[in-house]
Amino acid sequence: MPTKKIQDNAKEKMEKTKNVLRSDLMAIRAGRANPQLLDRITVDYYGTPTPLKNVANISAPEPRVLQINPWDQKMVKDISKAILASDLGLNPSNDGKVIRLMLPELTAERRKELTKLVRKTAEESKVAIRSIRRDAVEQVKKMKKNSEITEDDQKKAEEAIQKLTDANIKDIDKITADKEKEIMDVK
The tens digit of pLDDT for each residue in 161-184 reads 999 999 999 999 999 998 888 888
- Most distant CA pair in the chain, distance: 71
Do residues 118 and 180 make contact, with C-beta atoms less than 8 angstroms apart?
Answer: yes
- Do residue 81 and residue 118 come from a single domain? no
Residue 186: predicted pLDDT: 56
- CATH no. for residue 91? 3.30.1360.40
Residue 61: the pLDDT is 85
Domain boundary among 102, 136, 156: 102
pLDDT at 86: 78
Give the total number of structural domains in the chain: 2
CA 84 to each of CA 38, 41, 44, 72, 98: distance values in angstroms, whole numbers, following the listed order? 12, 10, 14, 19, 16
Task: Say what the pLDDT of residue 140 is.
Answer: 92
The parts of the chain modelled with pLDDT lower than 70 are 1, 29-32, 87, 186-187
Please tell me the predicted confidence (pLDDT) of residue 182: 82
Supply the pLDDT for residue 31: 62
Dist CA 117 CA 106 (whole Å): 15
> Does residue 175 sit in the same domain as residue 137?
yes
**In a shared domain, residues 111 and 131:** yes
Helix axes 4-26, 151-185, angle to 10 degrees: 10
Q: Is residue 125 located within the same domain as residue 98?
A: no
Q: What domain range is 120 assigned to?
A: 4-26+107-185
